[in-house]
Amino acid sequence: MSGFTCATCAEKVSVAAFAPWRCPNENGDRHHVLLIDESDQHIVESHPNPFIAFRRNMLWWQFAMANGMTDEQTITLVQRIDDAITKVGGVGFVTTPLTYQSAFSDELSFESPGGIWVKDETHNVGGSQKARHLMSILLHLFVAEELGIAPWAHPSSRPSLAISSCGNAAIAASTLAAAAKWPIDVFIPEWAGGVVVETLTALGARIHRCARQSQDPPGDPTVLRFREAVNNGSIPFSVQGPENALCLDGGRTIGWEMGQQLAHENISELDAIFVQVGGGAFAASLSRGLSESGIAAPLVAVQTEGCAPLSRAWNTAQADAKSAQHWTQHMWPWESEPVSLADGILDDETYDWVADLAQIQRTNGQVVVARESEVIHASQLAPRTTSISASPTGTAGVAGLLALRSQLANTARVAVVLSGIRR
C-alpha cells in the first residue's frame, strides 16, 4: 500500500490514518505538503466510473482496506454517492472524452501524425475537473463514518466542510456536499457574483464574502478565512494539496484516463501536455497520473502574465535540491493585483508548487507565461475549433500552446485540457 511523505520534512503518514490532511509537523504556515508515495501498482478494471475503475490505486480505497472494509462495500459506497451526485447535479462521475481535434490542429498548422488531442472536462461533475480532486476526500470521510473511525457519532453532528474558491472548485465542492447532505462553508472574494453565487446558493452552501482586512498578512483573504474555519474544526474540503493532501489522489484519475485513451490510439508519448496552473493541484495530479500510466509527456505548466508565481519559483528553485525546505525563498504571494481574463487561475500563490515542480522535472517539462493577448485568443479559438463550450479559465492551457507554438515541430503531438464550462 502507498502512503504519504512530506516533501519538506520527510515525515511519513500511513494510508491507514484518518484525516491525513496535512503533515503532523506543519506549524500553521502550510509550508509542508504531503505527497503520495511512488508505487508500482497500476490496476485498472473496466467501469465507466473512474473511482471504481481505478479504485485499487487510490488512497481512499487503501484506507478502507487497511481498516477492514471489503472491496464490495467500497464499490457499493461509490455507487451510492454517485447516484446522489447525479440527482443533485444531473451527472455523475464518468470517463471524459479525449479526442483528436482536426480543425484545431489545422488552425495551428499541425500535420499528421501530429496534432492536438483535447481532454474535455466541461461535462464532468460541477462543470470542471475540480470534483475529481474532492471526491477522494469525500470517500475517505464516508469510509471513516461507516467503519466508526470518524470522531463524530452521527451524521447530524458532522463538522462543516470548508473551501476557499471563486468559481469551479466552489461549485464542485457544493455539488458534492449537497449530494452527501453535508454542511459546507464557501469562502469567496467580496467581488464574486453572477451565476457562480446563484449556483452556490441553489446548492445550499453557506457563503462568506471575504474582504481584505487591515491586519491580514499577505495572501488571499478567502484562504485566510478558510484556514480560520479549519482551525475552528471545519474539514478542509480543498483542492490545494497543502490544505488537504487527499485532493492529489482523485486528480490522478484524469491522467490515468488519458493514459488509457492514448494507449488505445497506440500513442505512448506526447511532445507536451499543456495545463493551466492556478493553485497547481490539477497540473501535478494529471501529470502524475499520466506518468503512472506509462505515458511520456512533458508537462508544460501555463500561467498568465498577470499572475505567475509558479514561473518565478521555477526560475529560482531549479538549482535548489532542497527547495521545499526553503519554501519562502521560492514561493510567496504575487505582489501586484492579479489580473487576467482567465480569472479562475489567479491564485496569488501556487499552493502546490512543490508537486508541480516535481512533475515538471520528472517529465522534462517547463513553465510558460502566456501573454494576455494569447489568453484572449485561446478563449476564442478553442471553443470555435472544437465546439466545446469552455470558459477563458478552462482554455488557458491553450494560451500556453499558442505561446510555444513556434518551438514545436508541425508533426508534434500535444494535448490540452478544456477544464471548465463557460457559464
List average pLDDT for each run of 10 residues in the chain, which is 423 residues long.
Answer: 92 96 93 92 92 97 97 98 96 96 98 96 93 98 97 93 90 97 93 86 94 82 93 97 96 96 96 97 97 96 97 95 96 92 93 97 98 98 97 96 98 96 85
SS3 category, 237: coil
Whether the Cβ atoms of residue 279 and residue 307 lie closer than 8 Å to each other:
no
Grid cell for residue 215: 491586519
**Quick one: pLDDT at residue 165?**
86
pLDDT score recorded for residue 183: 97
The span from the CA of 323 to the CA of 160, in Å, is 34
Query: Which amino acid is residue 189, in one-letter code?
Result: P
Give the model's pLDDT for residue 398.
98
Neighbours of 47 (CB within 10 A): 16
CA 309 to chain centre: 17
Domains 3-89+130-247 and 98-128+251-418 share a fold: yes
148 burial class (0-12, 13-18, 19+ CB within 10 angstroms)? exposed
CA distance to 39, 85, 134, 143, 253, per residue, from 77 (Å): 25, 12, 16, 8, 18
Q: How many CB atoms lie within 10 A of CB 282?
A: 31
The sign of the torsion formed by the CA atoms of 8, 308, 297, 99 equals positive
Sketch the domain layout of the chain as residue ranges. Answer: 3-89+130-247, 98-128+251-418
- Residue among 246, 240, 229 at smallest CA distance from 183: 229
Separation of alpha carbons 208 and 330, rounded Å: 31
The CA distance from 155 to 159, in Å, is 9
Q: Are 186 and 208 in contact (CB under 8 A)?
A: yes
Which distant-in-sequence residues (6+ apart) come within 8 Å of 336 by Cβ? none
What is the CATH topology of the domain spanning 98-128+251-418? Rossmann fold (3.40.50)
- Would you state the cell numbers that stand for residue 285, as one nine-digit string? 495530479
Distance in angstroms (rounded) separating the CA atoms of residues 149 and 395: 41
Strand partners, 415: 117, 273
Q: pLDDT at position 41, please? A: 82
- The answer to whether the Cα torsion of 36, 133, 371, 187 is positive or negative is negative
Q: Which CATH class is domain 3-89+130-247?
A: alpha beta
Query: What's the one-letter identity of residue 272?
Result: A
Q: What is the DSSP string of 321-361?
A: TTGGGGHHHH----SSPP--S-GGG--SS-TTHHHHHHHHH
Q: Is 119 helix (H, G, I), strand (E, B) or coil?
A: strand
Instruction: Return the ∠ at Cα 257 (arms to 255 and 258), rounded to 5°.
Output: 65
Backbone dihedral region for residue 194 (phi beyond 0: left; psi -120 to 50: alpha; all else: beta) = left
175, exposed or middle or buried, with CB in 10 Å at 0-12, 13-18, 19+?
buried
pLDDT for 244 equals 97
* 8 A C-beta contact, residue 31 and residue 230: no
- 136: which 3 cell numbers? 477522494
CA pair distance 52, 48, nearest whole angstrom: 8
pLDDT tens per residue across span 37-87? 998 888 999 999 999 999 999 999 999 999 999 999 999 999 999 999 999
pLDDT of residue 423: 78
Tell me which amino acid residue 277 is: V
Q: How far apart are CA 248 and CA 352, in angstroms?
A: 9
Q: Which helix (H) or strand (E) holds 415?
A: strand 413-418
Closest to 346 in 3D by CA, of 211, 167, 139: 167
Instruction: State the DSSP code for 72.
Output: H
